[in-house]
Amino acid sequence: MMIGYITLGTNDIERAAAFYDALLADAGARRQINLEDFITWGASPKHPALSIIKPYNGEAATPGNGNMVALVMKTREQVQAVHKKALELGGKDEGAPGPRGDSGFYAAYFRDLDGNKLNAFCMGG
């Protein structure tokens, strides 16, 4: 089984869309689905995607405690660039780019404009 897509809630779809358009462009992702209350970005329909949505039940979107979306990057430089871009776009730092442990895992952590936690990572590279 594989992940098809991850969905993050938002209370301001236009603001969140602008954030993710800018954040994901350099990583090669583009909008795949673009509806009034649901937008998905990905590099290919055959790979996992990231989506934002206004909650179906009409209640406010809130970030989950312990939930996180991990975005795979090809190089450490890409990890650094995505983290930097997230902060430039108004995201909050949750962990500067750097190695984590001795397995070759290199990551940077941040929160989007709605408080959802993400990381950009690569192995080795």
Query: What would the DSSP string read from start to end of 62-86?
Result: ---SS--EEEE-SSHHHHHHHHHHH
pTM of the model: 0.88
Q: Tell me the pLDDT tens digit for each residue of 92-117.
A: 999 999 999 888 999 999 999 999 99
Average pLDDT over residues 51-78: 92
Q: How much is the mean pLDDT over the chain?
A: 93
Asked whether 9 and 3 are in contact (CB, 8 A), the reply is no
Per-residue confidence band for 80, with pLDDT thresholds at 50, 70 and 90:
very high
Instruction: Give yes or no for residue 38 having a pLDDT over 70.
Output: yes
CA distances from 71 to 55, 78, 119, 123 (A): 22, 11, 6, 12
- Which position has the higher pLDDT, 118 or 27? 118
pLDDT at residue 26 in the model:
85
Task: Out of 3.10.180.10, 3.30.200.20, 3.30.70.340, 3.60.15.10, select the CATH number for domain 5-123.
Answer: 3.10.180.10
pLDDT at residue 125 in the model:
63
Which residues neighbour 30 within 8 Å (Cβ) at sequence distance 6 or greater? 24, 41, 42, 43
pLDDT at residue 65 in the model:
83
Under DSSP, is residue 48 helix (H, G, I), strand (E, B) or coil? coil
Selection from 4, 12, 119, 117 nearest residue 61 by Cα: 12
Instruction: Give yes or no for residue 2 having a pLDDT over 70.
Output: no
Question: Residue 30 is encoded by which pair of tokens?
Answer: 């583009």
